[in-house]
């Protein structure tokens, strides 16, 4: 299976998605699945038609050079080769998750034993969409959705198999994976239901609100630059700020109004998990930091979780049972970043 992979959005040069793509492909190759990433691109654009045009055209053509401080310009053979080579090295050295990354045991994104048959093209193009592209596709786009991401304006993954387009929104499922990984129980009822304290109403926020509501949790939508649409499928799960004090379930706080690549939020609230929605590719002291009320998680957690969900649901669902767990993926991501800085 030959794959052309790209990350599209604006800004995009901070993205660590190419690193995760290389690590995941290496893991599946090690598990016996033939996955060859022949191309990796960072596509800076505020129009979704631009990355879709990249997917349609297989011939080599000049691209705007976009370089990441950590791994360079992945469109060049040298940087791409370095990513793929170091990924294999990290896999051979990191076989278990760091203890702080699996507080309740490992979490896998595969949820059953069914094997999904997927039509494959000789060469496929996979695209991860970042801000501001997630809301630019509609049900009239001629794309086959795997979920309600087209209706909700929350598409963050595209797959072109050479004949058809497919899409999914994996931010929400990624958020649920993180919550469950850190002990949230969505089988509880009443005032014990998990509470999502969320700032923002953009594509990622809508995806997370939809997934959280479908899982049975409740949502406190905190006023931000863009309000959360009150007509979405999450509307019956919204609670007012005055009622939040009565909820005794575990709480996750996330602010989607912070700028991409600048993971700083001026808002705070007591929560079991304070998940940063963004990240940068600079070195961080810790991706899990204790707070007075719980833990603060670096934005790499959401990136990794939604990336694994993309492979499990859209990119390679037939091999979802072979994917690594979230804790192991985070441990390898840290090791990969260290290796790239030392190389």
pLDDT tens by residue, 268-293: 678 999 999 999 888 888 999 999 99
Q: What is the pLDDT of residue 107?
A: 97
The answer on pLDDT for 200 being more than 80 is yes
Three-state secondary structure call for residue 99: helix
pLDDT digits (tens, 9 = 90+) for 75-133: 999 999 999 999 999 999 999 999 999 999 999 997 655 556 677 778 999 999 999 99
Per-residue pLDDT reduced to its tens digit, 179-197: 999 999 999 999 999 999 9
**Span 236-247, pLDDT tens digits:** 999 998 889 889
In b/e form, how buried is each residue of 165-190, taking b as 16+ CB within 10 angstroms? Answer: bbbbbbbbbbbbbbbbbbebebeeee
- Looking up tokens 């603060």 gives 296
pLDDT digits 0-9 by tens, 7-37: 999 999 999 999 999 999 999 999 999 999 9
- Measured between alpha carbons, how far apart are the two ends of the chain, in Å? 29
Q: Two tokens at 141?
A: 């786009």
Cα maximum dimension of the chain = 59
Exposed / middle / buried, residue 122 (Cβ in 10 Å: 0-12, 13-18, 19+):
exposed
38 forms beta bridges with: none
Q: Is the pLDDT of residue 230 over 90?
A: no
Q: Which domains are seen in the chain, by residue range?
A: 2-170+304-342 (3.40.50.10860), 173-302 (3.40.50)
SS (H, E, C) 161-207: CCCCEEEECCHHHHHHHHHHHCCCCCCCCHHHCCEEEEECCCHHHHH
Q: Are 30 and 151 in contact (CB under 8 A)?
A: no
Q: Residue 199: pLDDT above 70?
A: yes
Q: Which helix (H) or strand (E) covers residue 14, if one does?
A: none
Sign of CA dihedral 161, 162, 163, 169: positive
């Amino acid at each position: 299976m030959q794959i052309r992979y790209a990350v599209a959005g604006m800004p995009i040069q901070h993205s660590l998605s190419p690193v995760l793509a290389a690590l995941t492909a290496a893991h599946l190759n090690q598990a016996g699945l033939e996955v060859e990433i022949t191309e990796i691109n960072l596509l800076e654009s505020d129009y979704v038609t631009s990355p879709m045009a990249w997917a349609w055209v297989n011939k080599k053509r000049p691209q705007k050079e976009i370089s990441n401080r950590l791994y360079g310009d992945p469109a060049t053979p040298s940087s791409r080769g370095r990513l793929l080579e170091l990924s294999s090295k990290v896999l051979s050295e990191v076989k278990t998750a760091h203890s702080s990354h699996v507080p309740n045991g490992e979490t896998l994104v595969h949820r059953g034993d069914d094997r999904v048959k997927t039509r494959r093209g000789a060469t496929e193009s996979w695209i991860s969409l970042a801000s501001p592209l997630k809301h630019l596709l509609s049900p009239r786009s001629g794309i086959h959705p795997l979920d309600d991401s087209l209706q909700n304006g929350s598409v963050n993954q595209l797959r072109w198999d050479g004949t058809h387009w497919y899409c999914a929104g994996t931010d929400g499922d990624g958020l649920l994976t993180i919550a469950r990984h850190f002990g949230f129980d969505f089988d509880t009822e009443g005032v014990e239901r998990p509470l999502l304290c969320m700032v923002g109403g953009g594509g990622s926020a809508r995806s997370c609100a939809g997934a959280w509501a479908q899982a049975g949790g409740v949502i406190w939508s905190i006023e931000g630059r863009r309000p959360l649409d009150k007509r979405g499928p999450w509307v019956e799960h919204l609670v007012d700020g005055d009622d939040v004090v009565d909820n005794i379930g575990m709480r996750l706080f996330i602010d989607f109004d912070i700028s991409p690549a600048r993971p700083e939020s001026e808002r705070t609230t007591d929560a079991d998990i304070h998940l940063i929605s963004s990240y940068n590719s600079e070195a961080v002291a810790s991706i899990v930091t204790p707070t007075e009320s719980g833990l603060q998680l670096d934005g790499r957690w959401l990136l990794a979780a939604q990336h694994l969900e993309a492979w499990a649901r859209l990119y390679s669902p037939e091999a979802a049972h072979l994917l690594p767990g979230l804790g192991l993926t985070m441990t390898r991501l840290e090791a990969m970043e260290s290796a790239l800085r030392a190389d």
